[in-house]
Amino acid sequence: MELTIHNEKNGLDYTLCGDFYLPNLLSPQAEEKEIGVWGMRHLRYIKQHKKVRYINLLTTGKLNAYLAEIDEHAQNMKAVLIKQMSEHEGANEMLKEQNQPEWVGRMNNIRNRAEEIIYNEVIYK
């Protein structure tokens, strides 16, 4: 008996385990990309709330690339939002020199609002 066979009908390979042929369900090896905090947060969300999407991405081998893309998009979005909000609200270097506690408070507020926007627009979609 052969140890491995290929089924042309469904395109799967099978390996002999004892008396039975079991399908090789390992996902194809994809390039591993670094996933940051935003990608991990989105992973946790889709595992809990979007199980079908998670399983599809996992079994097709696209999960890592998808999460890396989400992470990069969220990081870029956060940088742009913080820059735009700080310019609009006057949290600039002049304020930083004149009244540092006020500047820190404004920047923390801006950062928190930017993160909330990212959660609603990117992570929880």
User: Could you say which residues of the chain have pLDDT below 50?
Assistant: none
Check residue 30 and give its pLDDT.
Answer: 58
Contact status, residue 67 vs residue 39, Cβ threshold 8 Å = yes
List, for residues 77-109, the tens digit of each pLDDT value: 999 999 999 999 999 999 999 999 999 999 999
- Dihedral pair phi/psi, residue 67, rounded to 5°: -70, -40
What is the sign, positive or negative, of the torsion defined by CA atoms of 98, 101, 104, 110?
negative
Check residue 22 and give its pLDDT.
Answer: 85
Supply 96's token pair: 């930083």
Strand partners, 22: 15
Check residue 13 and give its pLDDT.
Answer: 86
Check residue 29 and give its pLDDT.
Answer: 59
